[in-house]
Amino acid sequence: MKKISFLILAAIVVVINYTPLFLGGYMYNEEQAVRRLYPEYTGNKLYEKREDQHKLVVWSDGNQKIVTVVENKWGWLYRARNSVELVRTSQDEPFIRTWSATNHGGNDIYDTILAVETSENESSTIVVTNEPMDEEPVADLERLKALSGIYIEMDVEQGYAVYYGQLPADQTGGFVFRSIDSEGKILSIHR
């Protein structure tokens, strides 16, 4: 009898502890988590970048490319937290950039995704800043650090550069994306 009581009590504790995880959108694998966010998901992974508690996945269904943040909890629960679409405005455009900021906690901090797809073969780093808009974009990287509220460097891998982090509300937006080669030369600037 004691064994049955213990098992029932253990089952109740497990249900109470784990129910909020499933109500919060966690799934048992990464694909299920993405399907919960995008039910029509049939895409292929083009690129992924692993970080501490999450992974950034660039995937395509043939028509659109989407960057999704997939959180990992305890190594076996996954949740697609945020997502943004990479949209090409013209076929000859060598650089596609996008960003998304979401306030999840009601404070002045935004969960922010920055994403770039580039066909510039020389590009090794993407620098994202938010310096004041002047007539001419600033070309000196050291001066940019002093002028900008944020200065984010993203490595280009397989033609993609992605970032996910928390930014203050007053620093979110007005981003300027710069493609940099391995020697620190600015290849292109995109607002």
The boundaries of every CATH 2.60.40 domain in the chain are 91-191
Confidence (pLDDT) at 139: 78
Higher local confidence (pLDDT), 14 or 23: 14
**Mean pLDDT within 151-162:** 96
Give me the helices (H) in 24-106, please: 30-37
Indicate whether 161 pLDDT > 90.
yes
**Mean pLDDT within 145-158:** 93
Confidence (pLDDT) at 19: 66
Cα 58 to Cα 34, 110, 165, distances in angstroms: 11, 21, 16
A 10 A CB-CB count for 190 gives 18
Return the CATH class of domain 91-191.
mainly beta
pLDDT band at 21, cuts 50/70/90?
Answer: low
Q: What is the DSSP letter of 172?
A: S
The span from the CA of 190 to the CA of 124, in Å, is 16
The span from the CA of 28 to the CA of 50, in Å, is 18
CATH 3.30.700 fits 1-86, yes or no: no
Indicate whether 22 pLDDT > 70.
no
